[in-house]
Amino acid sequence: MSNIFWWILLICVLIFATYAAFVIKGEKKVALKNAVSFPFHGLEIPIPPWWTLTSDSSELKVFERTDTRYEWQSRFSFTDKNYADLQAAFEELAINNELVFDKDTSIIHGPKSFQKLYEQGIETLRVEGTATKAHELRVYYDAALLKTEDGIVILESESSVLNGLLEGPFFEQSLHNIKKL
């Protein structure tokens, strides 16, 4: 009789795990469907509904997860400073944030990785990966720089290395669904 109990328990656990896998798989589609359009310097950025605006000024918007305890933050900023190119702007951003990227885990995305923006004439640069911040803190950092008519929009996601896996896909999805106003 006890073997039957353990078999039933195993089958229930497998059914629950399968259900959870399907829910997780569809989570990005649901987040995009329920996203809130956020206008920022001539762009419309889809924001997942659980991101909370915690700091709001004309040149800097900060979003955080206030419903959980894990460390994650997204910053939207704008600069009209004149740079030679987006790489120079990113290098200054990395220096100001005291970031040193890991060579083996960092990815520099080409401008065509944002096909929709590229077709709208918006030049982009995106860098993501693990890094050391301020010589001691390990972070997962993802940044996209978008050159608009007025200047450069900088979209950043920063978290602890493990928490980057949780919000990173939603940040990336937001980036790939930006529209020009």
Tokens of 53: 């605006």
| Residue 70 · residue 166 · CB < 8 Å | yes
CA distance 88 to 80: 14
Rounded to a whole number of angstroms, the CA Rg of the chain reads: 19
d(CA 137, CA 128): 16
pLDDT for the residue 31: 67
CB-based contacts of 53, cutoff 8 Å, min separation 6: 61, 62, 63
Report d(CA 56, CA 171) in Å as an integer: 19
pLDDT of residue 68: 79
User: What is the reported pLDDT for 162?
Assistant: 79
Tokens of 116: 């929709």
pLDDT at 125: 92
Q: How far apart are CA 181 and CA 177, in angstroms?
A: 13
Token couple for 45:
């950025």
Q: Which residues of the chain have pLDDT under 50?
A: none
